[in-house]
């Protein structure tokens, strides 16, 4: 469970400066790393730590390496993106250390005879796979996962314990879905069928059947207890490499563009389209039937009620201040029209004054 | 799997105009429907699509039908509420197409001998039904559902995979509960039992036992991963035909009035009463111990901290604007008292001026 | 299933005033209690109810007892904190009444041979306990609970149905974790590895492996469907006696100080430290990498974007008002800079006026 620097660059790219035969056994921050550990410099403000680290080697950009006073007796892997490189190497160490799950279907799992399960898939305890479902190569379904009829889980995906995917959905290659996530629940749609007003109102809500599915692209990650509703007629669509945090709600018939990231507790109402490479902050709320352009950033806790057609950063949240100060300003805010009226009255009064040069 | 228009009106009401023997096999939007499909006109602005649709028949209101230039060679079902009618017919097609679950208890389910399970109920894999629970006719409990001791699930309800209902709760007829929903978890109540202040504080929080239940009326729908806490002494109550979206939190001893709809990510603190026919927007927060009248609408992301005694629409959320513009206004907002003081000073200065007619 | 007042004070402290042999069989509010019930006075404004209650005994503070016009023929337990005392006695009655779960492992549970399960633990149906996990004395794991490899659940804890705890986590003594909670899911961390801008952008997000765990202290309660992410390198830490409501998100590497309470729907981004004895209101959002001092209170729906270094109450939320009024003020709010400019112009105009005494 060790790699030489040469082995690392052969697999992940970059260039060794120093001793390519140096072995590393794990990763650590610059200020904590020892002689068998690999550290990384992602932020130039920690450059001085590179001078003093005991790390066996440091991942570094060429520019930062050039700034070092001395590189003697030190080893580096030079790469344009040390942070991403670090992430990839760290994953390799984890894959080495993690216990290998045996392919096969646990005796307590319920797999319908008409479902297709790849021989390399790992199906855990109490998993249910319904009729016609397709489970790809190397897929891992942990304990208590439910896969509804006709749903397809593509190769290399990992569904953690207790994930539920309703019928008629598709999950792309290498997806990671965390526990408690629910994919394909009914969208929230009801036709009002009421007659009369007030206490005399009669009638009811009529459920709109939700017959679309959810279609999720490759390399998507979905957080714990996140919910993604199935579409009403067509599918709800999550494009490739979208990353979604915990407790996020995505309504029916949304489309989330590739590479977009959505932080925890955000909620996106139905039929909304979000572009590619967007960043949606934590607890952001986005109304239904709006469109966000590519490269839109919405800061945490903001609310989007209309389409945002231009890339850029959007905000509507206030930071908390001391309660008493806030309340004073909030009271004035609710009466801004009165302040404006007083300004208007002043403007009229001043306009009616003889000007200084009138005499 | 086809209906004639005559069969449809016999079941759902309305009146055929045109060929009552016309058969339809599915539903589709006006602009996509073919000659064996049923479309609907809910919004008069799409009236022109009725003139050109290839649909085998169109659901339409009498007023809209009267506006058509020509109805020759076309078939209609005339109904006061085409959208609700569409929903009902769509559901009928789905019921025809869906695989029928066999009544009975799956071999892997754990049903306590003292529980009562109707012969027509469908109990899926790994379901647990505890002592004294009652499962009504045609109830469907999907994989991994948990029903606690003494809980009653009335006829026709469907609990999707992974729903948990604690002990001592009641769910009415024809409820739909989506995956991951938790009903009957403990309300959040603790008595402070601390002595001293600051670093010298000792003591602890003492849990208030939650011995009420949750009582849910008929025709309620509850979204994925929504949580409804049990009451402290009396029950938390959800009245008939309430519709609740995903990731909603309802605190202990709340009462939600009939026909009210609550959108995703909303949170309602304990002991709050919401009237009938209310509409609570997405991510709305409602404080504890307040009362909302019937027919109150709270728009998305707003916060309710006091009772709202009159029907109507209430709001406290801002729409996101460009980050820089927002920050400029937000800074002024935090200093509104200074703007007001400047206005006051101006008013005093202007009042001290001789008026134009003073000379 | 009855206690005499003498038995109660022997167990919970306090002093009987009146008949120590009086038996009580349950608890009830002052205005509903009968002669075999114990009531409590926590709020002095209900003192008059003590004069008229039919309760067999009343929990009361010494100060309030002294204010009573008459205490003849009545029984009291005098205690400094009647509400906390009530909670403890109520719990004792519940423990008496609740069916006792038999220690042991349900036949359908999957416990890895290398896991240690105490003989007094209760392991329910379909529970999975992975390799190397440790389940303490009197722990209760309800149906469908998942405990990952190497995770430790300390004595007396109760995990309700469907709780998931990933590998490598620790839960302290007497924890209560409600259904659907997910502990130890991956933190939300990705290194951007993109080249180029706009439509020409290529590359991807690289997942940062999350190799820390979650460490939870004793006497913690965690609400339904709450999520607590594992740390990236070090652990996410929840200190003793923290109380967390439903649908709360806690990001990776957060530390929540002892006795802090967090209400429903709150979200705390990664690497944030919250002090001891804080109160975080419902739906509050707290940014990542900030620090809250001990005894900080954040009111419901507020947003915290910077560290709050002083104890006290902080706010940034508005209460909902009528929609039309709100919209008028909100429009002015977005143009506060224009109001300010008009004030500036007025100030200049007034300054240019001859002062009243200039003549």
CB B156 within 8 A of CB B177: no
Interface A-B: count of C-beta contacts within 8 A: 220
C345 in B contact zone (CB under 8 Å)? no
A210 in B contact zone (CB under 8 Å)? no
Q: Name the percent of chain C lying above pLDDT 90.
A: 89
The string of pLDDT tens digits covering residues A221-251 is: 999 999 999 999 899 999 999 999 999 999 9
Q: What average pLDDT does the segment C223-238 reach?
A: 96
CB A191 within 8 A of CB A206: yes
CATH 2.160.10.10 domain range(s) in chain C? 104-314
Taking an 8 Å cut-off on Cβ atoms, the answer to whether C87 and B191 are in contact is yes
Bigger pLDDT: B96 or C175?
C175
Taking an 8 Å cut-off on Cβ atoms, the answer to whether A323 and C346 are in contact is no
Q: How far apart are CA B23 and CA B56, in angstroms?
A: 8
Q: How far apart are CA C269 and CA C206, in angstroms?
A: 20
H-helix segments, chain C: 5-12, 47-52, 62-67, 82-97, 323-334, 336-352
Instruction: Give the torsion through C-alpha atoms of B263, B267, B272, B275, to 10 deg.
Output: -10
Q: What average pLDDT does the segment B145-167 reach?
A: 98
Q: Which residues of C touch A247 (CB under 8 A)?
A: 225, 227, 247, 249, 267
Q: Exposed, middle or buried: residue A163 (CB in 10 Å: 0-12, 13-18, 19+)?
A: buried
C309 in A contact zone (CB under 8 Å)? no
Taking an 8 Å cut-off on Cβ atoms, the answer to whether B265 and C265 are in contact is yes
C17 in A contact zone (CB under 8 Å)? no
Residue C158 has pLDDT above 70, yes or no: yes
Residue B356 has pLDDT above 70, yes or no: no
Q: How far apart are CA A13 and CA C81, in angstroms?
A: 67
Residues 64-83 of C with CB under 8 A from A: none
CATH 3.40.1390.10 domain range(s) in chain B? 3-97
Taking an 8 Å cut-off on Cβ atoms, the answer to whether C209 and A91 are in contact is yes
Measure A94 CA to nearest chain B CA, in Å: 30
Instruction: Give the pLDDT of residue A355.
Output: 60
Q: Which residues of C touch A245 (CB under 8 A)?
A: 188, 249
Residues 113-132 of B with CB under 8 A from A: 124-126
Interface probe, candidates B142, B197, B252, B267, chain C, greatest C C-beta count within 10 A: B267
Taking an 8 Å cut-off on Cβ atoms, the answer to whether C144 and A142 are in contact is no
**Given C91, C294, C330, which is nearest B318 (Cβ)?**
C330
Helix, strand and coil in chain B, % to nearest 5: 20, 30, 50
C179 in A contact zone (CB under 8 Å)? no
CB C330 within 8 A of CB B316: no
Interface probe, candidates B107, B150, B206, chain C, greatest C C-beta count within 10 A: B206
Measure C246 CA to nearest chain A CA, in Å: 11
Residue C328 has pLDDT above 70, yes or no: yes
Can you give the length of chain A in residues? 359
Residue C357 has pLDDT above 60, yes or no: no
Q: Name the percent of chain B lying above pLDDT 70.
A: 98
Q: What average pLDDT does the segment C12-20 reach?
A: 96
**Given C108, C219, C336, which is nearest B332 (Cβ)?**
C336
Measure B317 CA to nearest chain C CA, in Å: 8
The complex's ipTM works out to: 0.95
CB A211 within 8 A of CB C213: no
Q: Exposed, middle or buried: residue C128 (CB in 10 Å: 0-12, 13-18, 19+)?
A: buried
C264 in B contact zone (CB under 8 Å)? yes
Q: What average pLDDT does the segment B65-81 reach?
A: 90
Instruction: Give the pLDDT of residue B357.
Output: 55
B24 pLDDT band, cuts 50/70/90, is: very high
Q: Which residue of chain A has the CA closest to B353?
A: A353
Q: What average pLDDT does the segment C255-273 reach?
A: 98
Residue C358 has pLDDT above 80, yes or no: no
Measure A127 CA to nearest chain B CA, in Å: 9
Taking an 8 Å cut-off on Cβ atoms, the answer to whether B87 and A298 are in contact is no
Q: What average pLDDT does the segment C97-113 reach?
A: 93
Average pLDDT over chain B, rounded to whole?
A: 95
Do strands C152-153 and C170-171 pair parallel, antiparallel, or not at all (unpaired)? Answer: parallel
Measure C200 CA to nearest chain A CA, in Å: 12
* DSSP string covering C59-78: EE-HHHHHH-S--TT--EEE
Taking an 8 Å cut-off on Cβ atoms, the answer to whether B208 and C87 are in contact is yes
The string of pLDDT tens digits covering residues B250-300 is: 999 999 999 999 999 999 999 999 999 999 999 999 999 999 999 999 999
- CATH superfamily entry for domain B3-97: MurE/MurF, N-terminal domain (3.40.1390.10)
Taking an 8 Å cut-off on Cβ atoms, the answer to whether C211 and A90 are in contact is yes
CB B194 within 8 A of CB B176: no
The string of pLDDT tens digits covering residues C54-91 is: 999 999 999 999 999 877 778 999 999 999 999 999 99
- CATH superfamily entry for domain A104-314: Hexapeptide repeat proteins (2.160.10.10)
Instruction: Give the pLDDT of residue A356.
Output: 56
CATH number of B106-314: 2.160.10.10
Taking an 8 Å cut-off on Cβ atoms, the answer to whether B180 and A227 are in contact is yes
Taking an 8 Å cut-off on Cβ atoms, the answer to whether C303 and A317 are in contact is yes
Residue B84 has pLDDT above 80, yes or no: yes
C308: DSSP letter? B
Instruction: Give the pLDDT of residue B100.
Output: 85
CA end-to-end distance (rounded Å), chain A = 95
Q: Which residues of C touch A328 (CB under 8 A)?
A: none
Instruction: Give the pLDDT of residue A99.
Output: 82
Residue B359 has pLDDT above 80, yes or no: no
In a 3-state reduction of DSSP, which class is residue C314? Answer: strand
Q: Which residue of chain B has the CA closest to A125?
A: B126
Q: Name the percent of chain C lying above pLDDT 70.
A: 98
Q: Which residues of B touch C347 (CB under 8 A)?
A: 342, 346
B307 in C contact zone (CB under 8 Å)? no
Q: Write out the catalytic residue numbers of A.
A: 252
> Token digits for B191?
């008595």
Instruction: Give the pLDDT of residue A100.
Output: 85
Q: Which residues of A touch B265 (CB under 8 A)?
A: 249, 265, 267, 285
Chains that touch A (3 or more CB pairs under 8 A): B, C
Q: List, for chain A, all residue ranges whose pLDDT scores fall below the cut of 50.
A: 359
**Given A227, A302, A352, which is nearest B247 (Cβ)?**
A227
**Given B162, B304, B342, which is nearest C319 (Cβ)?**
B304
Taking an 8 Å cut-off on Cβ atoms, the answer to whether B261 and A325 are in contact is no
Q: What average pLDDT does the segment C153-180 reach?
A: 98
Taking an 8 Å cut-off on Cβ atoms, the answer to whether A87 and C191 are in contact is yes
* DSSP string covering B1-25: --EEHHHHHHHH--EEES-TT-EE-
Instruction: Give the pLDDT of residue B167.
Output: 98
C356 pLDDT band, cuts 50/70/90, is: low
Instruction: Give the pLDDT of residue A318.
Output: 95
Measure A215 CA to nearest chain C CA, in Å: 20
Radius of gyration of the CA atoms of chain A, in A = 28
Instruction: Give the pLDDT of residue A357.
Output: 54
Taking an 8 Å cut-off on Cβ atoms, the answer to whether B179 and A201 are in contact is no
Measure C105 CA to nearest chain A CA, in Å: 16
Instruction: Give the pLDDT of residue A73.
Output: 74
Residue C156 has pLDDT above 90, yes or no: yes
CATH 2.160.10.10 domain range(s) in chain B? 106-314
Catalytic residue among C138, C158, C178, C252: C252
């Amino acid at each position: 469970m060790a790699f030489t620097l040469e082995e690392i660059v052969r697999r992940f790219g970059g260039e060794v400066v120093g001793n390519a035969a140096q072995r590393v056994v794990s990763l650590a921050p610059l200020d904590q790393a020892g002689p068998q550990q690999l550290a990384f410099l992602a932020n130039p403000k920690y450059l001085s730590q590179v001078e003093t680290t005991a790390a066996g080697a440091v991942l570094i950009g060429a520019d930062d390496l050039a700034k070092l006073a001395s590189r003697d007796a030190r080893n580096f892997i030079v790469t344009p993106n040390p942070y991403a490189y670090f992430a990839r190497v760290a994953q390799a160490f984890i894959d080495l250390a993690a216990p290998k799950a045996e392919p096969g279907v646990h005796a307590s799992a319920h797999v319908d005879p008409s479902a297709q399960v790849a021989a390399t898939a790992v199906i855990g305890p109490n998993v249910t796979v319904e009729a016609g479902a397709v489970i790809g190569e190397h897929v891992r379904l942990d304990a208590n996962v439910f896969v509804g009829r006709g749903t397809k889980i593509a190769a290399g995906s990992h569904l953690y314990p207790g994930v539920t995917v309703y019928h008629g959905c598709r999950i792309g290659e290498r997806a990671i879905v965390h526990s408690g996530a629910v994919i394909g629940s009914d969208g929230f749609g009801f036709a009002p069928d009421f007659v009369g007003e007030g206490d005399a109102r009669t009638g009811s809500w009529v459920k709109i059947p939700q017959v679309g599915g959810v279609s999720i692209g490759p390399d998507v990650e979905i957080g714990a207890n996140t919910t993604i509703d199935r579409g009403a007629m067509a599918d709800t669509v999550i494009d490739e490499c979208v990353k979604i945090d915990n407790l996020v709600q995505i309504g029916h018939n949304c489309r989330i563009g590739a590479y977009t990231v959505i932080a925890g507790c955000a909620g996106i109402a139905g039929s909304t389209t979000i572009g590619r490479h967007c960043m949606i902050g934590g607890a952001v709320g986005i109304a239904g039937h709006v469109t966000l352009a590519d490269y839109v950033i919405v800061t945490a806790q903001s609310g989007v009620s209309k389409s945002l057609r231009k890339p850029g950063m959007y905000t509507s949240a206030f930071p908390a201040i001391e309660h008493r100060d806030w309340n004073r300003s909030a009271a004035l805010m609710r009466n801004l029209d009165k302040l404006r009226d007083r300004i208007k009255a002043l403007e009229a009064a001043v306009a009616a004054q003889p000007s200084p040069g009138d005499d």
